[in-house]
Amino acid sequence: MRAISYAKLDTLFAKIAETHGVYLPVEGKKGTDYKRWEQGDVYSTALNSNRSPKDIFFPQSENLMDFKVEGKSIEIVDTRSESEDFVIFGVRACDVKSIEVLDRVFLKEPADSYYENRRSHAVIMSMACTKPAETCFCKTFGIDPAEPMGDIACWVDGEVLYMNANTEKGEALLEKLEGITEEASADAADTAKALITERMAKLPLAALKADAFGAGKTQKYFDHPAWAELSEACLGCGTCTYVCPTCQCYDIKDFNTGHGVKRFRCWDSCMYSDFTQMSAGQPRLTQLERFRQRFMHKLVYYPENNDGMFSCVGCGRCLAKCPIKMNIAKVMKTIGKENDND
């Protein structure tokens, strides 16, 4: 384990920037979001960024390729340029887990080469959650905010930042930082970890369990009568899907510039009435069906196909951002309540 004074974060970022791009959460006019670090940027200690670091691997909008058309001749132009190694600093435990969820989607054969390119160059420096929020429920899904994983796990205890490597990538980076960091004992961050665990136990959703959900529950919950009442107030705005760190729906569109064609990939939402709409119509015609699809995918369909892993990580963003206060925690409490005494 290595340690550095918290007051020397800029020194740490500058040292990493000698060999890697550096991305970290920074406070802006509209809250905290990840951006590429520049001298003068201040690391934000906000618990959650508006959107997760998912954007770095799977951008909201990206130019996949260009087409040059001359008569009957079509040339495909690869527009990718992401080739540098980079570090993402300050990733919370829930968001680290969300990247694992995305990996199972985009790295499954045939792998998405755009995502794979960025993922292979990334080093994730996670940050333990010293002050979890009332909307947090990551432990529901087996995530420990006191042990945030990633390539390098970080903890802040007083005026010291502790860093411990979890992977070979992490070890290699910490070796490069030995000149500005100090050796620390393996249990140096234990006090910080104990405090996090104590605070998590006092949160409003600390007792929320996912035991009622998972693989094999489609027939049990698909026609549950509670879907009608739960979905009634849903606006279909898609806010929950855009702040969610694990949502991966997208659309691909071609744009004629007059000098060629650009093909873009853009985020989409299963909560929209035109999602996956084709000439024959939309397979989910009502808001109830679309609402059910979102939560069944998180709690049943994804675990069915991914060794029981849920595609919710309990980050709480949807609890904080939904304009009508409808969220996955309410769905779990309502749909799964008959299992409370199982």
Q: What is the pLDDT of residues 284-296, one digit of tens each?
A: 778 899 999 999 9
Residue 5 clears pLDDT 90, i.e. is over it = yes
Instruction: Please give the full DSSP string across 126-188, using - where no structure is assigned.
Output: EE--SS--TT--GGGGT--TTS--SSEEEEEETTEEEEEE-SHHHHHHHHHTTTT-EE--TTT
Indicate the helix (H) or strand (E) that contains 194.
helix 190-200
CA neighbours closer than 13 Å in the CB half-sphere of residue 99: 26
Contact 143, 93 (CB under 8 A): yes
The count of other CB atoms within 10 Å of the CB of residue 94 is 29
- For the chain, which residues make up each domain, given as ranges? 2-200, 218-339
Computed over every residue of the chain, the mean pLDDT equals 92
Question: What pLDDT sits at residue 342?
Answer: 43
Question: How far apart are the C-alpha atoms of 258 and 238, rounded to whole Å?
Answer: 32
What are the pLDDT digits (tens) for 142-181? 999 999 999 999 999 989 999 999 999 999 999 999 999 9
Going across the sheet that includes 86-91, the strands are: 31-36, 21-28, 86-91, 122-127, 152-157, 160-165, 2-5, 182-183
Contact 169, 126 (CB under 8 A): no
Question: What pLDDT sits at residue 284?
Answer: 77
Question: What pLDDT sits at residue 281?
Answer: 65
- Strand 86-91 relative to strand 122-127: parallel, antiparallel, unpaired? parallel
Question: What pLDDT sits at residue 259?
Answer: 83
Question: What pLDDT sits at residue 341?
Answer: 45
Contact 233, 326 (CB under 8 A): yes
Question: What pLDDT sits at residue 285?
Answer: 79
What are the pLDDT digits (tens) for 231-284? 998 999 999 999 999 999 999 999 998 888 999 999 999 888 888 776 666 677
Residue 340 clears pLDDT 60, i.e. is over it = no
Question: What pLDDT sits at residue 274?
Answer: 80
Contact 119, 107 (CB under 8 A): yes
Percent of the chain at pLDDT > 90 equals 84
Question: How far apart are the C-alpha atoms of 201 and 270, rounded to whole Å?
Answer: 33
The count of other CB atoms within 10 Å of the CB of residue 255 is 10
Question: How far apart are the C-alpha atoms of 118 and 302, rounded to whole Å?
Answer: 24
What are the pLDDT digits (tens) for 57-85? 999 999 999 999 888 888 999 988 767 89
Kindly report the pTM of this predicted structure: 0.92
Q: Which SS3 state, helix, strand or coil, does residue 57 take?
A: helix
What are the pLDDT digits (tens) for 92-150? 999 999 999 999 999 999 999 999 999 999 999 999 998 899 999 999 999 999 999 99
State mean pLDDT over 19-46: 94
Question: What pLDDT sits at residue 82?
Answer: 67
